[in-house]
């Protein structure tokens, strides 16, 4: 027996200050469906009730309904009138309180939804049977979109190359003398957070900045290896702002917003100037000028780097700027503090609740605006290249409070990581994409050779040239080993799926990244440059190895430490791994989420990379957002707050939020089950990797959605967290994060299921051409899927679409052949 309900705003209702919600209850079995509904309209100055159509929907007498069903239908009708009474009372109370006068569209919706929830589940006069079936979560099936959320990207008018300048000229400012009256919270100290906090502090705002590590310098941006893009065209190979913009849109498989991406390309140029001025020691050539390398998906050299530690150097640059502001007292830094929730007052973000990770104290912090820069959610897969602490909680908490979450299924699987080796493995290690400048990717042509290698009977160096399949060079001659990441990853999977994998792990998943050719070519060049035109083979190889060491020394060393193999002598083994999340909190052109006053920057937002991110563009985006975008768009928002005065943390909203956080923690601590947090996290990871990973299909996604649901319920019944909540408790920290990842993981599957096309990192097996390339559907899916939170079950989330418009770029197939 199934009972469904749906609700939403009635279509065609366009008046801004009017909300109509309807409730329909369905009951069905054996192809018999009965339904009953009620409809309510709320206006700011009164309300209106329609009784609904329950009486005449179905002529029961005409259908042969078994008596027991008839009984249930009566119950439904009874239930509906209970709901109606409950809602009516609540409306009346609200109208009398006049609170609703300040309600925004979103708040109306929140309110209606909350009331409906309590009416459905806690209505007083329930009969035994109705309570039973209505309480069951699984029985709730569909909720129609409440179209009241208006997704306005707020992209400025005008030609693409003038949008940002025009916008900057028009935006409101906050005068220097007013800035000290305004408090801003920045959560996160990666490239986005550190640069935003430093800039805002320098402009004169009161900034509070938070990170969960023991120092802002340890944010995960530190681990980025390869480099940062900028359209400087120092190499004179035809680069330009337009080309960087074009490459990024194309690389993202036409699923990102033109205006934002153009701005990113535009400000990229200033980033390099800024960093050099801060003393970031980028790699230079012998003439003393900045050196560049090339990354996947492009045909120019625009990537600036500092050996294989570009992220470290850039972050330390931003950290130095932040440290300067902390020293000057303009930024208050809270290390080892985790944001637990956002606090909304009158619909606006006005603060956060944090947990001091050392003492367990729960604290309230107020501000006029909140900037979330908390990084990506790759750890939903358990094994990823992200740091152990990387998490989605801050983003997820604001999502639960009204910020839409966009394109959650767009995740980047990076082609060159060290393959999985064992069950106790805690994370995967990236081998920078820059290696694909010099390395050639291959597997044995013959499956027998692959098998012999796995069995340890054959060495890769023993396989002759003609027995090797350099499959990227074969399939994509124009870009070769430098195709974009999603393409390279899938190609590796394809080879391993048909039995050519060379790694002796459970799944035989691994391919070679070989430097032998490069060592020879470069060795020869160096010898020639030194005047030796006939170098011996040994000499060439020796010089070549030196050359490689200078370029990639630390990566080779890292590889050797982990695998105990020497990549100068034998090819590296690599395999794709989860790396980056293109999806994230939906933001408009100003990087503001659908919660007013809550801005989101860096990897945590969805904005610039569409369905696939190009290498070296995340660092660019983080610094662009933090240094050059948020400081301006935030001022535009804060200009209305100069008279607000400081915000008290004693309000009901703060008290409620704090209590909510405390009760969630208590709930977790009191489960006292039998399994550790990692036990559940690993299980989640396996479901995600197998069914919502590199390639996806309808059946897999459907089953993932169900499996995650079951796992989440098990987690909340059976997790065991040792220790207490009022002390340093790493297990509790993990549990709080995993609880959110469970919900996010399910939403990713829901989103992937909804997107009936293949694009970028999202590969649906049903949508591919004969050669296994992605088949995008621009007619039906050229939109950003922005999901609205309803409850922990992501199947109930409501989809909103932001249609993408391409005015400056002709949308085309993505071809790297």
Partner 1 sequence: MAAKNIDIILKVWRQKNTNAKGKIETYELSEVSTDSSFLEMLDQLNEKLIGEKETPITFDHDCREGICGSCSLYIDGRAHGPQTGNTTCQLHMRSFNNGDTIYIEPWRSKAFPIIKDLMVDRSAFDRIQQSGGFVSVNTSGNTLDANAIPITKDDADKSFEAATCIGCGACVASCKNSSAMLFVGAKVSQYSLLPQGQVEAKNRVQNMVRQMDKEGFGNCTNTGACEVECPKGISLENIARMNRDFLLSNISSDK
Ligand X SMILES: Cc1cc2nc3c(=O)[nH]c(=O)nc-3n(C[C@H](O)[C@H](O)[C@H](O)COP(=O)(O)OP(=O)(O)OC[C@H]3O[C@@H](n4cnc5c(N)ncnc54)[C@H](O)[C@@H]3O)c2cc1C
Binding-site size, ligand X (CB under 6 A): 46
Report the nearest approach of ligand X to the CB of residue 438 (Å): 16
Residue 375's binding partner out of ligand X, partner 1, none, with CB under 5 to 8 Å set by partner kind:
ligand X
226-255 residues near ligand X, rule: CB under 6 A: 226-228
Residue 215 binds which one of ligand X, partner 1, none, with CB within 5 to 8 A depending on kind? partner 1
526: Cα separation from own chain's centroid: 44
Which of partner 1, ligand X, none sits in contact with 326, Cβ below 5 to 8 A by type?
Answer: partner 1
Comparing CA positions, the residue from 423, 411, 462, 787 lying closest to residue 610 is 411
Q: Which is nearer to ligand X, 226 or 510 (CB)?
A: 226
Could you list the beta-strand ranges (E) of 315-366.
Answer: 331-334, 337-345, 348-356, 362-366
Binding of ligand X by 353 (CB under 6 A): no
Angle, CA 142 vertex, CA 94 and CA 594 arms, to 5°: 55
- Picking from 321, 320, 361, the residue whose alpha carbon sits closest to that of residue 338 is 361
The closest of 282, 368, 321 to 616, measured between CA atoms, is 282
Site for ligand X (CB under 6 A): which residue of 212, 381, 405, 816? 212
Q: Residue 427 interacts with partner 1 (CB under 8 A)? A: yes
Phi, psi of 356 (to 5 degrees): -75, 115
Which one among 22, 210, 470, 515 touches ligand X, defined by CB under 6 A? 210
Q: Residues 375, 402, 419, 700: which binds ligand X (CB under 6 A)?
A: 375
CB of 496 to partner 1, least distance (A): 20
Contact status: 595 vs ligand X (CB under 6 A): no
Is the distance from CB of 472 to CB of 461 less than 8 angstroms? no
| 485: annotated active-site residue | yes
Instruction: Indicate which residue of 79, 84, 468, 485 is catalytic.
Output: 485
Q: Is 256 in the site for partner 1 (CB under 8 A)?
A: no
One residue of 25, 149, 219, 418 binding ligand X per CB under 6 A: 219
Least spacing, CB of residue 687 vs partner 1, in Å = 20
Indicate whether 725 belongs to the interface with partner 1 (CB under 8 A). Answer: no
Buried b / exposed e over 645-663, threshold 16 CB at 10 Å, is: eebebebebbeebbeebee
How far apart are the C-alpha atoms of 815 and 817, rounded to whole Å? 6
Q: Quick one: 123 or 317, whose CB is closer to partner 1?
A: 317
233: left (phi over 0), alpha (psi -120 to 50) or beta: left
Residues 614-673 that bind ligand X (CB under 6 A): 615-619, 622
- Of the candidate residues 184, 275, 502, 684, the single one contacting partner 1 (CB under 8 A): 275
Q: At what angle do helices 677-691 and 730-754 cross, to 10 degrees?
A: 20
DSSP 418: P
The whole-angstrom separation of Cα 128 and Cα 121 is 13
Given a contact cutoff of 8 angstroms between Cβ atoms, the answer to whether 344 and 593 are in contact is no
b (16+ CB within 10 A) / e for 356-375: bbeebebebbbbbbbbbbbb
> Closer to ligand X at the Cβ: 3 or 619?
619
Binding-site member from 270, 446, 521, 702 for partner 1 (CB under 8 A): 270
Within 8 A by CB and 6+ apart from 159, the residues are none
- Count residues near partner 1 (CB under 8 A): 83
C-beta of residue 674 within 8 angstroms of C-beta of residue 720: yes
Radius of gyration in angstroms for the set of CA atoms belonging to the chain, rounded to a whole number: 28
Q: Which stretch binds ligand X (CB under 6 A): 101-109, 188-196, 435-443, 509-517?
A: 188-196
Is residue 422 a contact residue for partner 1 (CB under 8 A)? yes
152 is in the binding site of which of ligand X, partner 1, none (Cβ under 5 to 8 A by kind)? Answer: none
Scanning 347-355, 626-634, 700-708, 789-797 for contacts with partner 1 by CB under 8 A, the matching segment is 626-634
Q: Is 72 among the residues that bind ligand X (CB under 6 A)?
A: no
Give the x/- contact pattern for partner 1 in 350-379, rule: CB under 8 A: --------x---------------------
Q: How far is the CB of 285 from partner 1 (least distance, A)?
A: 7
Residue 117 binds: one of partner 1, ligand X, none (C-beta under 5 to 8 A by kind): none
Q: Does 752 bind ligand X (CB under 6 A)?
A: no
β-bridge partners, 303? 229, 293
Q: Of these partners, partner 1, ligand X, none, which one is at the site of residue 485 (CB under 5 to 8 Å by kind)?
A: none
- 720 or 806: CB nearest partner 1: 720
Interface pick for ligand X out of 25, 120, 184, 191 (rule CB under 6 A): 191
Rounded to whole angstroms, the Cα distance separating 22 from 42 reads 11
Which region, judged by CB under 8 A, interacts with partner 1, from 146-154, 427-435, 466-474, 476-484? 427-435
Report d(CA 704, CA 141) in Å as an integer.
17
Burial of 150 (0-12, 13-18, 19+ CB in 10 A): exposed
- The smaller minimum CB distance to partner 1, of residues 28 and 204, is found at 204
Measured CA to CA, the distance from residue 331 to residue 252 in angstroms comes to 36
The side-by-side arrangement of strands in the sheet containing 183-187 is 331-334, 206-210, 183-187, 369-372, 598-600
Between 429 and 446, CB nearer to partner 1: 429
Q: How far apart are CA 447 and CA 542, in angstroms?
A: 33
Please state the length of the chain: 817
750 binds, among partner 1, ligand X, none (CB under 5 to 8 A by kind): none
- In this structure, are residues 584 and 606 in contact, taking their beta carbons and an 8 Å threshold? yes
733 binds ligand X (CB under 6 A): no
Q: Does 310 bind ligand X (CB under 6 A)?
A: yes
No. of helices (H) and no. of strands (E), the chain: 20, 24
Is residue 286 at the binding interface for partner 1, with CB under 8 A as the rule? yes
What residue 607 binds from partner 1, ligand X, none (CB within 5 to 8 A, per partner kind)? none
**Dist. CA 279–CA 71, nearest whole Å:** 77
| Beta carbons within 8 Å of 166's beta carbon, 6+ residues apart | 156, 157, 158
Among residues 128 and 564, whose Cβ is nearest to partner 1? 564
The residue (of 515 and 580) whose beta carbon lies closer to ligand X is 580
Q: DSSP for 282-305?
A: --B-TTSSBPEE--TT-SS--EE-
422 binds, among partner 1, ligand X, none (CB under 5 to 8 A by kind): partner 1
| Residue 645 Rama label (left phi>0; alpha psi -120 to 50; beta) | left
Is 267 a binder of partner 1 (CB under 8 A)?
Answer: yes
Selection from ligand X, partner 1, none that 662 binds (CB < 5 to 8 A by kind) is: none
The answer to whether 339 contacts ligand X (rule: CB under 6 A) is: yes
Minimal distance, residue 457 CB to ligand X, in Å: 34
Closest Cα to residue 317, out of 473, 191, 130? 191
User: In terms of CB distance, is 720 or 783 closer to partner 1?
Assistant: 720
Question: CB burial class (10 A; 0-12, 13-18, 19+) of residue 718?
Answer: middle
- When binding is defined by CB under 6 A, the residue of 20, 105, 155, 189 that contacts ligand X is 189
Q: Which does 188 bind (CB under 5 to 8 A by kind): partner 1, ligand X, none?
A: ligand X
Identify which of 432, 420, 378 has the alpha carbon closest to the alpha carbon of residue 692.
378
CB 222 within 8 A of CB 197: no
Binding window for partner 1 (CB under 8 A); candidates: 536-544, 555-563, 596-604, 762-770? 555-563
Q: Indicate the residue among 122 and 670 with the shorter CB distance to partner 1.
A: 670
The region of 111-119, 154-162, 216-224, 528-536 touching partner 1 under the rule CB under 8 A is 216-224
Q: Does 281 bind partner 1 (CB under 8 A)?
A: yes
Q: Give the catalytic positions in this structure.
A: 485
Binding site for ligand X (CB under 6 A): 187-193, 210-213, 219-221, 223-228, 310-311, 338-339, 373-376, 385-386, 390-391, 393-394, 430, 579-580, 602-604, 615-619, 622
């Amino acid at each position: 027996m199934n009972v469904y309900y749906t609700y939403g705003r009635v279509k065609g209702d366009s008046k801004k200050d009017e909300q109509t919600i309807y409730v329909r209850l369905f009951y069905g079995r054996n192809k018999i469906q009965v339904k009953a509904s009620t409809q309510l309209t709320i206006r700011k100055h009164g309300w209106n009730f329609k009784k609904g159509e329950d009486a005449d929907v179905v002529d029961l007498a005409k259908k042969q309904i078994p008596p027991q069903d008839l009984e249930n239908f009566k119950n439904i009708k009874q239930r509906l009138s209970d709901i109606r009474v409950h809602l009516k009372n609540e409306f009346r109370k609200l109208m009398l309180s006049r609170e609703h006068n300040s309600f925004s569209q979103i708040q109306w919706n929140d309110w209606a939804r909350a009331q409906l929830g309590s009416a459905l589940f806690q209505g007083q006069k329930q009969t035994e049977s109705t309570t039973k079936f209505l309480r069951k979560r699984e029985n709730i099936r569909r909720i129609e979109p409440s179209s009241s959320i208006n997704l306005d990207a707020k992209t400025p008018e005008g030609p693409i190359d003038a949008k940002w300048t025009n916008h900057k000229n028009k935006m409101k400012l906050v005068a220097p003398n007013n800035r000290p009256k305004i408090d801003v919270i920045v959560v996160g100290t990666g490239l986005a957070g550190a640069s935003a906090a430093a800039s805002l502090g320098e402009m004169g705002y009161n900034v509070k900045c938070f990170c969960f590590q023991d120092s802002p310098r340890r944010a995960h941006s530190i681990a980025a290896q390869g480099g940062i893009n900028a359209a400087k065209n120092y190499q004179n190979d035809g680069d330009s702002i337009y080309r960087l913009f074009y490459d990024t849109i194309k690389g993202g498989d036409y699923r990102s917003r033109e205006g934002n991406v153009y701005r990113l390309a535009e400000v990229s140029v200033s980033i390099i100037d800024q960093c050099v001025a801060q003393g970031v020691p980028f790699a230079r050539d012998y003439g003393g000028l900045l050196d560049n390398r090339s990354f996947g998906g492009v045909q120019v050299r625009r990537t600036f780097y500092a050996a294989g530690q570009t992220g470290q150097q850039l972050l330390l640059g931003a950290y130095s700027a932040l440290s300067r502001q902390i020293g000057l007292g303009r930024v208050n830094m809270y290390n080892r503090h985790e944001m637990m929730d956002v606090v909304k007052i009158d619909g606006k973000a006005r603060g956060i609740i944090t947990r001091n990770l050392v003492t367990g104290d729960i604290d309230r912090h107020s501000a006029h605006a909140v900037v979330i820069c908390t990084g990506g959610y790759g750890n939903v897969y358990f094994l990823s290249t992200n740091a152990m602490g990387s998490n989605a909680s801050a983003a997820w908490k604001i999502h639960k409070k009204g910020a839409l979450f966009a394109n959650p299924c767009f995740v980047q699987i990076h082609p060159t990581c060290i393959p999985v080796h064992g069950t106790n493995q805690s994370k995967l290690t990236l081998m920078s994409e820059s290696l694909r400048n010099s390395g050639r990717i291959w597997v044995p042509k013959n499956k027998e050779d692959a098998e012999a290698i796995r069995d340890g009977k054959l060495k890769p160096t023993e396989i002759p040239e003609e027995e090797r399949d350099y499959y990227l060079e074969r399939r994509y001659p124009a870009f070769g080993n430098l195709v974009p990441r999603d393409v390279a990853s899938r190609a590796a999977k394809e080879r391993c799926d048909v039995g050519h994998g060379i790694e002796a792990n459970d799944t035989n998943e691994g391919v070679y990244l070989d430097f032998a050719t490069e060592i020879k070519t470069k060795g020869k060049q160096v010898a020639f440059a030194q005047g030796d035109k006939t170098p011996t083979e040994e000499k060439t190889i020796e010089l070549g190895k030196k050359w490689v060491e200078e370029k990639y020394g630390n990566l080779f060393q890292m590889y050797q430490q982990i695998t105990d193999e020497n990549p100068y002598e034998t090819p590296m083994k690599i395999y794709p791994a989860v790396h980056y999340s293109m999806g994230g909190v939906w933001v408009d052109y100003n990087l503001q989420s659908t919660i007013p006053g809550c801005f989101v920057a860096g990897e945590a937002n969805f904005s610039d990379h569409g369905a696939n991110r190009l290498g070296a563009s995340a660092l660019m985006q983080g610094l662009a957002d933090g240094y050059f975008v948020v400081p301006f768009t935030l001022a535009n928002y804060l200009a209305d707050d100069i008279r607000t005065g400081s915000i008290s943390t004693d309000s009901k909203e703060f008290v409620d939020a704090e209590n909510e956080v405390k009760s969630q923690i208590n709930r977790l601590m009191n489960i006292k089950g039998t399994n550790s947090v990692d036990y559940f996290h690993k299980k989640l990871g396996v479901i995600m990797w197998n069914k919502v990973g590199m390639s996806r299909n309808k059946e897999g996604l459907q089953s993932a959605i169900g499996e995650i649901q079951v796992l989440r319920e098990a987690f909340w019944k059976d997790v065991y967290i040792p220790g207490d909540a009022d002390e340093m408790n790493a297990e509790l920290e993990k549990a709080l994060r995993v609880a959110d990842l469970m919900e996010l993981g399910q939403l990713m599957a829901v989103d992937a299921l909804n997107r009936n096309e293949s694009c970028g990192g999202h590969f649906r097996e049903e949508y591919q051409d004969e050669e296994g390339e992605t088949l995008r559907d621009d007619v039906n899916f050229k939109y950003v899927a922005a999901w609205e939170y309803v409850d922990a079950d992501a199947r109930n989330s409501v989809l909103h679409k932001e249609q993408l418009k391409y005015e400056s770029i002709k949308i085309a197939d993505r071809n790297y052949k």
